[in-house]
Structure 1
Amino acid sequence: MFRNNYDNDSVTFSPQGRIFQVEYAGEAVKQGSVVVGLTSKTHAVLVAIKRNAEELSSYQKKLFAIDEHVGLAIAGLTSDARVLSNFMKQQCLSQRLTYDRAMPLEKLAALIGDKAQLNTQHYGKRPYGVGLLVTGVDETGPHLFEFQPSGLTQEMLACAIGARSQMARTYLEKNLDKFADCGRDELVRHGLRALKETLVQDRELTVENTSIGVAGLKEPGKKALEVFKVHDGADVKDWLNSVADDAEAGGETTEGEGMQVDE
């Protein structure tokens, strides 16, 4: 049988037990610009490379604040990410209005997983062509969740998705033991170093194409939260300079960027 007999909708399995439209949605994620997330005992950090479609256009946003304690990074179709981010904002607001408390991150990740998985059960719908890294801080501390188009969500200590993300994952795996005890600034620097591993030779991290999102606890063991904030432009300059200083001192660097997809 030709493969095309089984990829016309998202509810038909191939004889090998595969759903091709879900796999196609995963390919859209792999072509998006890379985003990196990592956590310590006190903070959760997202780092992303922004793209502009042409010289005359602005850079597309990669990080979004969902509530004061949670944010996300996207890789894939920005329009699909907007649908999911609006759904998450509504759920967080509903939680605060109904229970007067912040939405637990594990529950929020499960809700978007259920919403995405429904699209693989009903004829005429398609999977969301976007991957998300959802991060933030709740009553149990910092968390990072990976969302995939199939509806799978899983908690991660560190993660990277998007084009050339395997190189960032390799860096994260090598340095995983260091993250738990890192403060905010050192955790951001680890994220930037992982991001630099994905770059191609003619590209580099700049204040124009780099976004950083941070949430955390103000002091270890305290309930006071450092709300999720997206840092762009001049706000990221000091972090970029500190990573550049590491490179000049003999630290590991590989410059460049990935393939194209984010709208």
Structure 2
Amino acid sequence: MFRNQYDSDTTVWSPQGRLFQVEYAMEAVKQGSATVGLKSRDYAALIALCRTSKEAEDSPNSPLQRKIMPVDAHMGMSIAGLTADARIVCQHLRSECMSFRHSYDTDYPVQRLVTNLGIKLQATTQRYNRRPFGVGMLIAGYDEKGTHIFQVMPSANVFNCKAMAIGSRSQSARTYLERHLDSFMDSTKQDLICHGIQAIRGALGNQDSSEFTINVAIVGKDEPFKIFNETENQIYFEIAKTMGNPVTSDAEDARSIGGMIDMMDDMLEHGPSGSGSGPALDTDEESNAGLEPRPQ
């Protein structure tokens, strides 16, 4: 009722002990397009929904506003929330990675970089002359410790995850990830991507899928961070729809998926992709559909 008396800056607490500016930033994440991150032992994948603008519909050559951003050869991030804020954060991460590589001639450890990012975001919740970044991020990376999926929120909470979805209608995606969590262990790279696409399809709800474009990125062992092009995105989307067809028998499903993968390899002019396996989410107390991770 008296919220407007306590939301002028981030250092003013309400009588209930709330920081409304931080809550506004969290709300911006909830209103953003959904994005999913999941990993196996050798690969980490990011899948994001990108809203199709009217300009892109009128002109097919008009670029879309990407929701997946490369950070370094071994790392990238997908976003939900304010894209302008995400560009500032991404530029900071790129600068840190370049400085670390110049000093030590190696990749910046993913966990250390994300921890330092959380410290930077925390400062914006404590100073009256700054506002919290209104963007949530899923950061995927691969280093000497293996694959990583980190969730970073405007409140400066950093979570180490094995599968997570953020953004609008992301609860449906988290439910799918929980239901198929055990199958990620033996998933190939193609299966891992298809599981992510299947999860994010649930975030569409009753909305027209033609208004959205799916962006996919992968990073892993012996494979630098790569954002797929439109052709690859469409091929994987068709494969995922085949996997989700309940009337198709297992044999027909396997033949259809195998044929699509062969067609994809011919179109992209590379051999079959490797396989990977990995666990599910690091958490002791399961909440939020069993996928709420433990703060680091």
- Band of TM-score, shorter chain: 0.7 to 0.9
d(CA) in 2 for partners of 1:24, 1:202: 25
- Unaligned stretches of 5+ in structure 2? 249-296
- Unaligned stretches of 5+ in structure 1? 218-224, 252-263
Larger helix fraction of residues = 2
Q: Of 215, 234, 242, which aligns to 2:219?
A: 215
User: What's the offset of the Cα at 1:98?
Assistant: 0.5
The count of residues paired between Structure 1 and Structure 2 equals 243
Checking the alignment, whether the CA contact within 8 Å between 2:198 and 2:241 is kept in structure 1 is no
Report the equivalent of 1:110: 115
User: What one-letter code is carried by the residue in structure 2 that aligns with 1:250?
Assistant: V
For residues 1-263 of structure 1, what are the structure 2 equivalents within 5 Å? Answer: 2-54=2-54, 55-56=57-58, 58-204=63-209, 209-217=213-221, 225-250=222-247
Q: Secondary structure at the match of 1:198?
A: helix
Q: TM-score, normalised by structure 2?
A: 0.78
d(CA) in 2 for partners of 1:203, 1:230: 24
User: What one-letter code is carried by the residue in structure 2 that aligns with 1:210?
Assistant: I
d(CA) in 2 for partners of 1:12, 1:180: 46
User: What one-letter code is carried by the residue in structure 2 that aligns with 1:74?
Assistant: I
d(CA) in 1 for partners of 2:225, 2:173: 23
Checking the alignment, whether the CA contact within 8 Å between 1:131 and 1:147 is kept in structure 2 is yes
User: What's the offset of the Cα at 1:205?
Assistant: 6.8
User: What's the offset of the Cα at 1:120?
Assistant: 1.1
Q: Secondary structure at the match of 2:244?
A: helix
User: What's the offset of the Cα at 1:249?
Assistant: 4.5
d(CA) in 1 for partners of 2:67, 2:240: 21
Larger radius of gyration: 2
d(CA) in 2 for partners of 1:21, 1:53: 29
d(CA) in 2 for partners of 1:148, 1:138: 22
Q: TM-score, normalised by structure 1?
A: 0.88
User: What's the offset of the Cα at 1:103?
Assistant: 0.6
d(CA) in 2 for partners of 1:169, 1:91: 31
Q: Secondary structure at the match of 2:186?
A: coil
RMSD: 1.7
d(CA) in 2 for partners of 1:191, 1:250: 21
Cα distance per residue 1:115-160 (max 9 Å; x no partner): 1110111112100000000011010000000000011111001000
Q: Secondary structure at the match of 2:13?
A: coil
d(CA) in 1 for partners of 2:206, 2:158: 33
- Cα distance, 1:166–1:202 mapped onto 2, change above 3 Å: closer
